[in-house]
């Protein structure tokens, strides 16, 4: 008992009293909001340092459903948030030309049907498909049909209704979201300091960062530093020399050009990703404009040509000049080192194919709150944080790579490269489990669940040789009728669903009168 008491007494002495966040933008202000919500009443001061002289990337405007839980944990009102960020609802992502030229499918935030006698629904769909009964997997999903029809409503509370078993996310202006969270954070005693960091001081014994110096001579000391400085990695890399895992051998697209344009017609409740010969193009509809970008591999297209192709495919007149971005896909070898935690682009970058950037920020914040340290910075906490974040990055990487390798395209050198590449063993194992008999591997950690993998593999014509043999224990006509009934019920439910724009107005989140 004496040992336990002494540890408890020591813990009070070692309490974190000051957190300094270096960098603003989406990552910085999400971190400030999350930490201030949990710790501002516990005597921990939080200071965020940013400079208006340094721009943010600011093109990540599409999200995953998990952002709703983050906002809810902060007590944010959905309607107020949507009005402030010009947000639209998002039911999924439409992929065009990924499997073959002319193909398209939608990856929804929901399952396809419900299990039948504890057998996953897609095995029965595969059984009918192999018997020659043709139907799109997408027709078995209410959110897909609703998105394709430009319709939306919040999921029903009644789990027995068709429109209940799906999620939704948002498409919003990330700059306005950062501004919204800044106000939230400052209301909870977060101090914002304007200034450029010119020097970083490191303790000679522990190696911890103990202070930063600003351009105007201000010296800021802190117990814990959060690096949200973007690709530069001002603390985690430039000072602590953590190292970077380069994943260019698997995800070689290394540049992007982005532009905003006028919106033509009503905003749609989904993001679009269209495959191109040297990369892919995004389209993200907000209430007041449309975000566009071309992610590409500079080995096969020049910057000027990429910008030209993007501008020529806009649906409306451009509202901004094209913004050029350069990146290297991968992650820091450690996202937490010493007393520095890297969150956002300072920790790693994944191309925005499945809207994972904001989600990885959220995962970093959540893990930090759960493993919040004292001044001793226990090795076990740091190792657990890095283990969890490594898993998150690894599994996002594999899911993004799936889109490129599950293809029949050979019309360009880039697509030929992906058809012949060596895969990470983690992805290879998952693909073989699917191809052998339609088995979808489940992970304890990882943002994308089996329905997401099913959407991409089936949507890009990667179908298994067989299916769960238990599906053969049921009468064929009975199963066919059950699946046909679900498709018809989905269509009926979609017909009764309001249009996305009209629902935004009814909900009170529309900026359009």
pLDDT in tens, 451-489: 999 999 999 999 999 999 999 999 999 999 999 999 999
| 152 and 53 co-located in one domain | no
| 54 and 182 co-located in one domain | yes
The average pLDDT across 37-45 equals 92
Query: Strand order of the sheet with strand 279-285?
Result: 104-108, 92-96, 271-276, 279-285, 290-296, 255-261, 323-326
Is the residue at 96 inside a domain?
no
Higher pLDDT, 10 or 312: 312
Domain boundary among the residues 287, 309, 326 is at: 326
The average pLDDT across 326-331 equals 96
| 407 and 499 co-located in one domain | yes
Higher pLDDT, 408 or 513: 408
CATH number at residue 240: 3.50.50.60
| 292 and 371 co-located in one domain | no
Percent of the chain with pLDDT over 70: 96
Is 270's pLDDT higher than 70? yes
User: Burial of 264 by CB count in 10 Å (0-12 exposed, 13-18 middle, 19+ buried)?
Assistant: exposed
Is the residue at 40 inside a domain?
yes
| 180 and 154 co-located in one domain | no
| 157 and 303 co-located in one domain | no
Sequential DSSP letters for 55-98:
-------B--THHHHHHHHTT--HHHHHHHHT-EEE-EEEEESS
- 469: containing domain: 108-167+400-503
Total H helices, total E strands in the chain: 15, 21
The average pLDDT across 215-230 equals 97
- The C-alpha atoms of residue 79 and residue 507 are separated, in whole angstroms, by 7
Identify the pLDDT of residue 57: 55
Higher pLDDT, 157 or 102: 102
Is 3's pLDDT higher than 50? no
Tokens of 446: 């990882």
Read off the pLDDT band of 9 (50, 70, 90): very low
pTM of the model: 0.94
Identify the pLDDT of residue 7: 46
Is the residue at 75 inside a domain?
no
- The C-alpha atoms of residue 324 and residue 18 are separated, in whole angstroms, by 36
Is 22's pLDDT higher than 90? yes
| 342 and 202 co-located in one domain | yes
7 neighbors 33 (Cβ within 8 angstroms) = no
| 336 and 241 co-located in one domain | yes
Q: Which helix (H) or strand (E) holds 199?
A: strand 197-202
The average confidence (pLDDT) of the chain is 93
Identify the pLDDT of residue 165: 82
The average pLDDT across 425-429 equals 95
Q: Which of 356, 348, 344, 467 is nearest to 403 (CA)?
A: 356
DSSP state of 374: -
Read off the pLDDT band of 40 (50, 70, 90): confident
Q: Name the packing angle between helices 425-437 and 379-405 (round to 10°).
A: 50
413 neighbors 300 (Cβ within 8 angstroms) = yes
Q: Point out the residues that are catalytic.
A: 90
Q: What total of structural domains would you count in the chain? A: 3
| 269 and 405 co-located in one domain | no
| 160 and 191 co-located in one domain | no
| 271 and 406 co-located in one domain | no
Tokens of 461: 């014509």
Identify the pLDDT of residue 135: 86
pLDDT tens-digit readout, 139-191: 999 999 999 999 999 998 777 777 788 999 999 999 999 999 999 999 999 99
Is the residue at 52 inside a domain?
yes
Is the residue at 385 inside a domain?
no
Is the residue at 81 inside a domain?
no
Percent of the chain with pLDDT over 90: 88
- Lowest mean pLDDT: which of 33-42, 440-449, 475-484? 440-449
| 341 and 284 co-located in one domain | no
Is the residue at 491 inside a domain?
yes
The average pLDDT across 237-250 equals 97
Tokens of 242: 């953590």
284 neighbors 509 (Cβ within 8 angstroms) = no
pLDDT tens-digit readout, 331-361: 999 999 999 999 999 999 999 999 999 999 9
Is the residue at 103 inside a domain?
no
């Amino acid at each position: 008992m004496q040992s336990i008491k002494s540890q408890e007494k020591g813990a009070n002495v070692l309490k974190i009293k000051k957190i300094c966040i270096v960098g603003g933008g989406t990552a910085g202000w999400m971190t400030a909001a999350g930490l201030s919500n949990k710790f501002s009443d516990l005597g921990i001061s939080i200071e965020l340092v940013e400079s208006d002289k340094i721009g943010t990337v600011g093109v990540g405007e599409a999200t995953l459903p998990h952002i709703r839980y983050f906002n809810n944990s902060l007590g944010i009102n959905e309607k107020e948030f949507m009005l402030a960020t010009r947000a639209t609802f998002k039911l999924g992502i439409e992929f065009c030309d990924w499997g073959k030229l002319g193909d398209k499918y939608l990856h929804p935030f929901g399952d396809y049907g419900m299990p039948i006698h504890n057998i996953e629904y897609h095995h029965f769909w595969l059984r009918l498909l192999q018997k020659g009964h043709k139907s799109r997997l997408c027709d078995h999903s209410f959110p897909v049909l609703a998105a394709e029809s430009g319709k939306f409503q919040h999921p029903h509370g009644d789990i027995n209704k068709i429109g209940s078993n799906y999620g939704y996310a948002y498409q919003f202006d990330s700059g306005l979201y950062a501004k919204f969270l800044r106000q939230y954070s400052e209301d909870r005693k977060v101090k914002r300091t304007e200034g450029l960091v010119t020097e970083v001081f490191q303790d000679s014994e522990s190696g911890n960062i103990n202070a930063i110096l600003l351009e105007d001579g201000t010296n800021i000391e802190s117990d814990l530093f959060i690096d949200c400085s973007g690709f530069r990695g001002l603390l985690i890399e430039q000072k602590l020399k953590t190292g970077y895992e380069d994943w260019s051998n698997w995800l070689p697209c290394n540049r992007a050009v982005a532009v905003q344009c006028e919106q033509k017609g009503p905003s749609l409740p989904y993001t679009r990703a269209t495959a191109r010969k040297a990369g892919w193009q995004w389209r993200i509809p907000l209430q007041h404009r449309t975000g566009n970008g071309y992610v590409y591999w500079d080995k096969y297209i020049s910057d000027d040509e990429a910008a030209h192709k993007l501008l020529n495919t806009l649906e409306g007149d451009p509202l901004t000049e094209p913004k050029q971005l350069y990146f290297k896909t991968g992650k820091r070898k450690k996202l937490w080192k010493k007393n520095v935690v890297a969150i956002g682009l300072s920790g790693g970058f994944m191309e925005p194919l499945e809207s994972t950037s904001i989600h990885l920020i959220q995962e970093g914040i959540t893990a930090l709150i759960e493993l919040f340290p004292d001044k001793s910075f226990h090795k076990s906490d740091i190792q657990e944080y890095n283990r969890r974040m490594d898993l998150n990055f690894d599994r996002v990487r594999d899911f993004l790579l799936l889109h490129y390798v599950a293809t029949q395209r050979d019309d360009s050198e880039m697509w030929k490269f992906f058809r012949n590449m060596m895969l990470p063993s983690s992805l290879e194992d998952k693909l073989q489990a699917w191809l052998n008999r339609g088995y979808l591997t489940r992970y304890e950690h990882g943002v994308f669940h089996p329905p997401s993998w099913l959407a991409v593999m089936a949507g890009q014509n990667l179908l298994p040789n067989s299916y769960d043999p238990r599906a053969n224990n049921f009468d064929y006509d009975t199963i066919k009728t059950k699946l046909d009934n679900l498709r018809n019920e989905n269509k009926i439910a979609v017909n009764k669903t309001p249009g996305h724009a009209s629902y935004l107005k009814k909900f009170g989140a529309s900026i359009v009168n």
